[in-house]
Amino acid sequence: MASVWCSLGRRASNLARFSRVSTCCKFRDGARLCSSSSLESMGIPTPDELDTFVGMKSEFPCVQTTPGPEPQYQKFAKGATILHHRQPFHFHWGGVIPELFIAYETFGTLNADKSNVILLHSALSASSHARSSEKDPSEGWWETFIGPALPLDTNKFFFVCANNIGGCFGSSGPSTINPHTGKPYAMTFPLTTIHDMVNILFILLDELGIEKCYGAIGASAGGMQSLLAGVKHPDRIQRVVSISACLQSAPSSIALRYLQRQAIMSDPNWNNGEIYEPNGPFPHRGMKNARSLATCTYRSGPEWTMRFGRKRMSESIPSMCPDFEIESYLDHQGHKFRNMYDPNSLLYISKAMDLFDVSKGYPTMNDSLSRMTAPVLVIGVQSDILIPVFQQKEIAQKLRESGNKNVTYYEMDAIYGHDSFLLDLANIGAAIKGFLEIGNSFEGNN
């Protein structure tokens, strides 16, 4: 009768089975020796049954090991005008840069008394290119919202949109050359906040000779900015629109963005942020993973259930590479984004969102919000998991408690999650258009 060596964990699927093995097996030289008949009686595979093995291939083409293409994000500011502010800029958390660049674009026509200006605040990875123009005919990030007779009507309003400080589309950020060293700032660039983003916009307005804005509109990080602009400059902002934003970043949002940053920083090719040498290291894999994770926070489960369900790419044997359609979609989003944005800018601006607290610098939240007397439109999306709708309800509630009697709260049941502000023209566009145009004191550009 054949005998085999056996040990805990290899031939016993659970403790009960192992105890039965112990009762029928003898020990020799410190090892357990069992007969085949004993193994068969307990339903344990015999040596004859184990003399073949069929497993998965240990090849994973979806895990890229070869270098990716060179980053392309430097090319995306061709439609922007660059304001060179030749004075030191002081950051909210400390740090100074000797000069400041602000990339901005305008849409529409400024009227004679400059009373039709609306600030468009950019979200995390957006450039100043909100709409196509003669200088840059490529599609903007809010293309379907801005234009003649559209919700953001360029026949009536003059829109100003700037790239955020810390970004990579023309405004000062990690990829900007430090004039003291002749090299990019990289991770020596000072820590950036939403306060800094708002401050550079008012430097821009001053340079353009614009004293007041008819409105300030933003979503996500841009919504944080529009709220803060209304708090910091109540005499210069006449209306505020905040979409999918918050008064303070919640722990869940901070956690999700932290994981994205860790995906980048744990890529060896991030190289502590030194990524600007041509053909040098670049964290392609970290950026891809960060964006794939971010995409999970930007959209919603209901949308993906309708769009993908549990459909697989094919009926072939599954593998650890993309197998379900949803996996392929996330893979595609990561691949597409990884070369279109500066990894260091993503670190800086996502951290700025984490640090956001509209009450910072004021004794209480009520003290900060009581400064904002302008009418406010707050828009929330029920399917948003990144900045959940309860945080938009909180904005409206706290503003009302602070004494603002002109707060409108609009809650959408759109299925697109956080990205609804980019996709739901019918609902968001109509809400903004009504809010901006009811009771305006001018007709068209004059």
Half-sphere exposure of 199 (CA within 13 A, CB side): 15
366 burial (CB, 10 Å; 0-12 / 13-18 / 19+) is middle
Rounded CA separation 428/384 (Å)? 14
Rounded CA separation 325/129 (Å)? 31
Q: Strand (E) positions, 138-182?
A: 146-147, 152-153, 158-162, 177-178
Alpha-carbon 405 to chain mean position: 32
Q: Would you name the residues annotated as active-site residues?
A: 220, 384, 418
Rounded CA separation 349/249 (Å)? 13
Please spell the DSSP secondary structure of 143-199, one letter per residue: TTTEETTSSEETTT-EEEEEPPTT-SSSSSSTTSEETTTTEE-GGGSPP--HHHHHH
Nearest to 419 by CA among 381, 393, 378: 381
Local structure of residue 9 (DSSP, 8 states): T
